[in-house]
Amino acid sequence: MNKGKYYPLFVAIGIFLVLFIFGKFAQGMWEPVALIMFYVAVGEAFNVFLGFTGYVNFGYVVFMGLGSYGMALVVSSSSMAGLGPWILIPGFLFAAIMAGILAAGVGAIALRLRGAYFAIATIGVNQGVKFFIEGAKIWGGSEGIIISKPLKVALGPHLANAVTTFWADFLVFMIAILAAVITIVFLHTRLGYGLIALREDEDAARVMGVNTTKYKNIAFLVSSILAALVGATAWCLKTTYVFPDDVFALSYTVDAIVIVMMGGTGTLLGPVVGGLIYGILKYWLGILLPGFQLLILAPFIIIIIILFPEGIVGVLKKRVRGKKLEKFIA
Amino acid sequence: MLKIVNLEAGYGPMQVLWKISLNAEEGNVTALLGPNGAGKSTTLMSTLGSIKPWGGEIYFEGKDVTTLPSHKKVEMGMTLVPEGRHVFPNLTVRENILMGAYTKRASKLMKESLDLIYTLFPILKERPGQKAGTLSGGQQQMLTIARSLMTRPKFLMLDEPSQGLAPKLVGEVFETIQKVQSDMGLTVLLVEQNVDITLEVAKYVYILHEGTIKAEGTSDTIKHSEDVRVAYLGI
């Protein structure tokens, strides 16, 4: 039964590889591919929590935002400039720690709530953090942090340029792979079984001896830290600035929800498929029909959800049950 | 096997249980009878640790387990079949059953438990791949009982297993409970509103009303006590 349980991971990595090669070598394709990968990574990270617990974290973007702040604070601190390119390591660490601390705190309180109550509580966290940064004027307040200069100082102008145009996107690929690996590990371990049981019925999971509180918190923490890594890379390093209005925009949470639902919650390949469709539509609709993209995107998403109520991969998984393809889809 | 002393519990500011004490003797079926809102489910949930007791003590096999979290109690051999049908709807029947063997102790005995479950519940063996949410009400109740047995309990609490079932099915469920209890040598604490059948099955009965124990005795004593019957059981 467990033979080939990691095959779906190879499918995901295969898709990433094709995307990467296509983006790298086809003229002018790097930008759309980077956008698609950003959405895939956002979806995979979000799915670690939503897919395994059934809880919707509306405050998801706050962890992406804090992650980008974490990276920006490290890069812009003069005491670390001597590290050269190694500065990115404490940058990622700090991003993860900041998101981790907030996730542990929020989880300990908000995860006592269930379903819709949890969702409402988490919206407040995002707005709270944003207004706190702006109101208390910490970390540049509403003006944010611009790291283009310190990044050049630390990495040298040549490498700094390469980071913003290529390496930041490449790291997003890596984070997407990391999130996919975590997902497949979850799918096949005691922790994952416990989470799936609690997603299905929390009271029943508890009487089976699942430590529901602990597991929910672990999934929440892991998902939040992955989000912080995505934020630190795709926002801070790529754009070289962090503005509170941008990095705490609720719309990114909505993007994540749509990607995961469209692709299939709790599946490994769901966020990949969802991110692909979402990224492609968003990018090309924006070019072909500027101003009309939402008008087309919204009904399109509604149609997909009607046709594939369990997400595209969720429905596909049922179709291939008992066939050879089965072990490649999860 | 299980001893509750002066247990008090509630929700928010509202106290539900007022110093209740009861004893579930090893190898027997003990029942807790009472009307809606008497505190029966609260008693079971605070015994397993789903809600925190406000006061009093709970002893399991002589050990004080009052403040232990539920997952530790399940590991020790207690479990609960909660009220209503709590199957994992999108998992298959087989997956539901296997989830029962979640604790370390139970997972070691999984194969053996599975054989046992399939002999006790042949219907579940017939449809291992069916989604649990698509089973009928009676089958779902059987599945939740089977799944709880996979945790290899010594002490099983059942919260209104007859709820929402047709009379014929109620009989079947209770027959199963009795069979399981005697085959596996379980100690059972049964919460019910169905008085007749409970008095048939249980050896010792407590009457819970408005959060306190109003009467107790062997099933025969309760059956023949005019006062208790008229006041609390409505028969």
Would the CB atoms of A201 and B106 count as touching at under 8 Å? Answer: no
Q: What is the mean pLDDT of residues A296-315?
A: 89
Is A197 part of the contact surface with chain B (CB cutoff 8 Å)?
yes
* Chain A residues with CB-CB distance to B151 below 8 A: 207-209
> How many CA atoms does the CB half-sphere of B84 hold within 13 Å?
7
Is A198 part of the contact surface with chain B (CB cutoff 8 Å)?
no
Share of chain A above pLDDT 70, in %: 99
pLDDT at A18: 94
**A200 → chain B, closest CA residue:** B88
Cα of B226 to nearest chain A Cα, Å: 38
Segment among A15-19, A30-34, A155-159, A324-328 with least mean pLDDT: A324-328
pLDDT in tens, B99-133: 999 999 999 999 999 999 999 898 899 999 999 99
pLDDT at A293: 81
pLDDT at A2: 57
Starting at the edge strand that comes first in sequence, how are the strands of the sheet with B14-24 ordered? B14-24, B2-11, B55-60, B63-64
Q: By the 8 A CB rule, do B42 and B216 touch?
A: no
Q: Which of 280-319 (A) contact B at CB < 8 A? A: none
For chain B, the domains span 2-86+154-233
pLDDT at A3: 60
**CA angle (B177 as vertex; B174, B182 as ends), nearest 5:** 130
pLDDT at A330: 86
pLDDT at A1: 43
> How many CA atoms does the CB half-sphere of A84 hold within 13 Å?
2
**Interchain CB contacts (distance < 8 Å): A and B:** 65
pLDDT at A135: 92
pLDDT at A313: 93
Tell me which residue of A262, A283, A267, A242 sits closest to A33, measured CA to CA.
A283
Q: Which of B44, B50, B80, B88 to mutate to test the interface with A (most CBs of A within 10 A)?
A: B88
pLDDT in tens, B45-55: 999 998 999 99
Q: Topology of domain B2-86+154-233, per CATH? A: Rossmann fold (3.40.50)
Tokens of A113: 């709530």
Among A208, A211, A212, select the one facing B99 at the smallest CB separation: A208
Contacts of B44 (CB under 8 A, 6+ apart): B80, B157, B159, B189, B191
pLDDT in tens, A243-270: 999 999 999 999 999 999 999 999 999 9
Q: Binning pLDDT at 50, 70 and 90, where does residue A25 land?
A: very high
Among B74, B87, B90, select the one facing A209 at the smallest CB separation: B74
pLDDT at A123: 87
Is pLDDT at B214 greater than 80 in this prediction?
yes
Would the CB atoms of A208 and B103 count as touching at under 8 Å? Answer: yes
Q: By the 8 A CB rule, do B26 and B1 touch?
A: yes
Q: Is A9 exposed, middle or buried (0-12, 13-18, 19+ CB in 10 A)?
A: buried
Would the CB atoms of B99 and A206 count as touching at under 8 Å? Answer: no
Segment among A113-117, B87-91, B114-118 with least mean pLDDT: A113-117
Highest mean pLDDT among A33-47, A145-159, B163-177, B191-205: A33-47
End-to-end CA distance of chain B: 31
Strands B212-218 and B204-209: antiparallel
* Chain B residues with CB-CB distance to A193 below 8 A: 99, 102
Tell me how far the alpha carbon of residue B67 is from its chain's centroid. 20
Q: By the 8 A CB rule, do A74 and A92 touch?
A: no
ipTM attached to this prediction: 0.88
Q: Mean of the per-residue pLDDT values for chain B? A: 92
pLDDT at B84: 87
pLDDT at B164: 84
Residue A118: how many other CB atoms lie within 10 Å: 22
Q: What residues are paired with A242 via a beta bridge?
A: A145
Buried b (16+ CB within 10 A) or exposed e, B92-117: bbbbbbbbbbbbeebbeebeebbebb
pLDDT in tens, B174-201: 998 999 899 889 999 999 988 889 999 9
Q: In which region does residue B24 sit, left (phi positive, over 0), alpha (psi from -120 to 50) or beta (all else)?
A: beta
Q: By the 8 A CB rule, do B101 and B107 touch?
A: yes
What structural domains and CATH numbers belong to chain A?
7-20+29-328 (1.10.3470)
Q: What is the mean pLDDT of residues A6-24?
A: 92
Q: Is A235 exposed, middle or buried (0-12, 13-18, 19+ CB in 10 A)?
A: buried
Dihedral pair phi/psi, residue A285, rounded to 5°: -65, -35
pLDDT at B235: 61
Q: Binning pLDDT at 50, 70 and 90, where does residue A164 land?
A: very high
Share of chain B above pLDDT 90, in %: 76
